[in-house]
Structure 1
Amino acid sequence: MGIFNLALLVLFGIGSFARDTPLNEFEIDNSLGDSLYKGKQWVVLVAGTSGWKKYRHQADICHAYQIVKSNGIPEENIITMIVDDIAHNIRNPRRGKIFNKPHKAFRGKDVYRGVQIDYRGSDVNSENFLNIITGNKTGMQNVGSGKVVEGGPHDTIFVNFVTHGSTGFLSFPDSFLFADELNNAFNNMYTNGNFAKMLLYIEASYGGSLFDGILNERTNIMAVTASGPRENSYACYYVGFPYYTFLGDDFSVTWMENSDSMYGDFSAADITVFEDYSVVREAIDDSNVMIYGDYHIGNEPLSSFIGYQENDSQSTKAISKKTVMSGMSSKDVDEYSVLDQLTNDKLTAIKKSELETELSKNNRMRSIINNIFRDIYSKVLTATPEIKEIVGEYDAPHNQQLTLKMFPCYRSIINTISDSCFSLTQNPYTLDRLNVFANLCVADNQIHELVNNLVNESCANIPKNIINVF
């Protein structure tokens, strides 16, 4: 070999080392192939809401469970967090069953059957989730199954999270998971060599706000979100009587129905994350499916995260529009359900009165919430009028880029509102109205001290029964 060629090889080797420095200097690079260093595949499935109106979230996650289980992911490597109050809910006409697709006309399957739930009820919270993905077994002692991701430097992790979201956070029934908390967990996992590659599928409004400008592009993590940083995700498959709820979410149903059909001419084992993303994004009109983080993950086979089981079916990879596309912004679905019930000719007078009372009360509570938020912001502007140029109007806040340093301020304001005014986790209507507070902290990450005092002042005499406002 000539000296010139030898020098090129040396330079290439140095460049490769600099570009893909292992987590541990003695660790052999996983890019050499799974044939030599086969890692485990871990799957974490989370439905972050509760209640019949959020049927679709648990249905999505149960469907995801069926996919990864049938794809050969070992049960011990699948971790599920589901409140589990849908299958046996008194409103469920098919008690003990959950469908992610209308079951009569479209032969939908019971996706709840056989699902092993590791954490249910009050165990479904942000603290436990962070303990699970970071492998904190001590923190999960005597909680649910106690299972955590016991990942190593050759393992993959797939996280599918379906819930409500708002600017900079995802919802649990009684807590929030903020972007900085999630980012800190990722950084610790990367530093500790807890994974080789990680892929997240996030179904939530404002999902992109957790990663846009925040998720590191060189830590082997990619996030695919149902919506961008400033938009809602969409529900689909609405079923009226007797369900009066949506059975799925647009992004989740699309990628999973695509996964269900990926056999035949194109081997599902070879389809990359980017290929799947492109098909799903093209099929969705209502929101912008986005990708963030380390784009190298996009070239990996999706099967390296969700598994693969050979199938003799000869269907094609491409998917078409879902048979029923009852798409609706997630912020409107609860009200739509109540209004639809009121159109039922067989509705009893008592039930009709109850629904009309619920709707009337909901509208009054919405007005109170808006008045409080406006009052707080108005007082902030009185104290610091110059900040309006950055924040914008209450009804039309500017689209500011979130930064990691603004989250302590933002979290403090969110917690103060929840403690002094009304629970934000239990009032989904509030989630579309928090961007103005995030903007305040982007403008001044010390402004929470002023804002918290104004929150306490504005909420001193409000009703105590503000709950479940949609």
Structure 2
Amino acid sequence: MRVFNLPAALLALLAGPLLATAVHTSNWAVLVSTSRFWFNYRHLANTLSLYRTVKRLGIPDNQIILMLPDDMACNPRNTFTGSVFNDKSRLLDLYDDKGALENLGMGGIEVDYRGNEVTVENFIRLLTDRWPSSHPHSKRLMTGPQSNILIYMTGHGGNEFLKFQDSEEISSFDLADAFAQMYEKKRYHEMLFMIDTCQANTMYNAFYSPGVLATGSSAKDQSSYSHHADQDVGVAVIDRWTYFYLEFLETYLNSTASDVRLGELFDYQTFERVHSDAGVRYDLLDGGELAARNKRVLDFFGNVQGVEIEDGVKNTQLDWKKDLEALQKLAARVEGEQEDVGAGVDPTIATTAKTDTVHQSKVTFDMAQASDSFFKKIAGAASLAVLGGAWMASSALTKQSPVK
């Protein structure tokens, strides 16, 4: 085995990936319920259901912003104290997320904005990152130009507006302008906007920022319907549009390796299932409808871990290439001296003769003890030097190219 071929192998292996620059390195989710009061139980269940799904598909809690205006689990009317369900079978507690997922370590929820914190102002500040310096980073949307963002909203709405807690409204123009600020500040790569409310499709008519894909549960003058009620809970527990989104995601996306496309997901929302005309707007996305429908569902609903390569890395790349090439020459020299000794050549003469061919290298080797064990030590030291150089190069790249 020729251990001194290692530098060349490392050079070929490491140089390739650095030639490409990643454009999508992370996924974030903003999940918003805008309704309070017990009879809006289903809106909380809608939001927690999406929360559970994106978490199951790998998006970590520190990349999910959860906004819940009311705590249905602790409502005095709740027969099942401390629990929230999205199905009358009550097999899955969305609030604690135990049962079938207990072995996956996904129990519990992390609410970022609760109660009176769920306001139009806070929602727009969240999107545009216009916070005072004292605002916790854990409650910020820390996205950049390589981030895909899933925004899901549910509640009561009408023609181009959505109510927040029955006390204020956000309009489609407010959302459009917030997204425009996000685009100008390079806060996203692509965005999927989802909304489940009456006349939901009117909420994305005003959008004009590139890279936004939008879908809603109902057309203008149409209602968004609940799916079913739980007689013991006493109210509807989930909306139809969200229910069939969840049914598709739970059925066809069983792992983070699934290759299901967005077109299949959108086509699943038929009038027979939803009882309204679910809509999708494709034109703002680069490539239009064909490109949007061919994107993977996991590009928005799952976890993505890529590496961002910044412009300044090219010079660093050349530097560590030179280092590895020097190590390769050094290893070749040691190997050549070992062959000379084996052939009976005086190692001192061999070393002197080879000095000029290695550009007057300052490194000298004492070849007086030309035993097998000595050369094994030399080979081991050279191997360690090669690996050390590769490790140092990798560390330098990591510092300049953070994972996002």
Q: Is TM (by shorter chain) over 0.5?
A: yes
Equivalent residue for 1:154, pick from 136, 146, 152: 146
Shift of 1:84: 3.1
Structure 2 residue 222 is matched with structure 1 residue 231? yes
Aligned residue identity for 2:111: I
Structure 2 residue 106 is matched with structure 1 residue 112? no
Shift of 1:301: 1.0
Match of 1:78 in 2: 64
Structure 2 residue 186 is matched with structure 1 residue 193? yes
Question: Root-mean-square deviation (CA), in Å?
Answer: 2.4
Separation in structure 2 between the aligned mates of residue 300 and residue 243 of structure 1, nearest angstrom: 39
Shift of 1:298: 3.2
Separation in structure 1 between the aligned mates of residue 134 and residue 119 of structure 2, nearest angstrom: 12
Match of 2:28 in 1: 42
Match of 1:336 in 2: none
* Contact 2:87–2:230 (8 Å) recurs in 1: no
Match of 1:299 in 2: 294
Describe how 1:63-142 pairs up with structure 2 within 5 A: 63-103=49-89, 108-113=91-96, 114-138=108-132, 141=135
Structure 2 residue 244 is matched with structure 1 residue 260? no
Distance 1:298 1:147, change over 3 A: farther
Q: Deviations over 1:293-342 (max 9, x none)?
A: 43443332111111069xxxxxxxxxxxxxxxxxxxxxxxxxxxxxxxxx
TM-score, with length taken from structure 2: 0.62
Separation in structure 2 between the aligned mates of residue 290 and residue 168 of structure 1, nearest angstrom: 14
Structure 1: runs of 5 or more not aligned:
1-31, 310-470
* Contact 2:199–2:222 (8 Å) recurs in 1: yes
SS at match of 1:280: coil
Match of 2:234 in 1: 244
* Contact 1:199–1:221 (8 Å) recurs in 2: yes
Shift of 1:291: 0.7
* Contact 1:45–1:160 (8 Å) recurs in 2: yes
Separation in structure 2 between the aligned mates of residue 134 and residue 85 of structure 1, nearest angstrom: 27
Of structures 1 and 2, the larger Rg is shown by 2
Shift of 1:67: 0.7
Match of 2:177 in 1: 184
Structure 2: runs of 5 or more not aligned:
1-18, 97-107, 305-404
SS at match of 1:253: helix
Match of 1:427 in 2: none
Match of 1:169 in 2: 161
* Contact 1:81–1:124 (8 Å) recurs in 2: yes
Q: Deviations over 1:137-162 (max 9, x none)?
A: 328827xx851212111110001111
Work out the percentage of aligned pairs sharing the same amino acid. 26
* Contact 1:161–1:201 (8 Å) recurs in 2: yes
Separation in structure 2 between the aligned mates of residue 255 and residue 82 of structure 1, nearest angstrom: 20
Count of residue pairs brought into register by the alignment:
268
Shift of 1:238: 1.1
Distance 1:84 1:261, change over 3 A: same
SS at match of 2:192: strand
Separation in structure 1 between the aligned mates of residue 229 and residue 182 of structure 2, nearest angstrom: 39
Describe how 1:2-81 pairs up with structure 2 within 5 A: 36-81=22-67
* Contact 1:197–1:297 (8 Å) recurs in 2: no
Match of 1:220 in 2: 211
* Contact 2:256–2:298 (8 Å) recurs in 1: no
Aligned residue identity for 2:264: E
Separation in structure 2 between the aligned mates of residue 140 and residue 67 of structure 1, nearest angstrom: 31
Q: Deviations over 1:394-423 (max 9, x none)?
A: xxxxxxxxxxxxxxxxxxxxxxxxxxxxxx
Separation in structure 2 between the aligned mates of residue 258 and residue 204 of structure 1, nearest angstrom: 19
Aligned residue identity for 1:168: E
* Contact 2:84–2:93 (8 Å) recurs in 1: yes
Separation in structure 2 between the aligned mates of residue 215 and residue 139 of structure 1, nearest angstrom: 29
* Contact 2:230–2:237 (8 Å) recurs in 1: yes
* Contact 1:231–1:287 (8 Å) recurs in 2: yes
SS at match of 2:113: coil
Q: Deviations over 1:16-70 (max 9, x none)?
A: xxxxxxxxxxxxxxxx98x834422110000100011000000111111111111
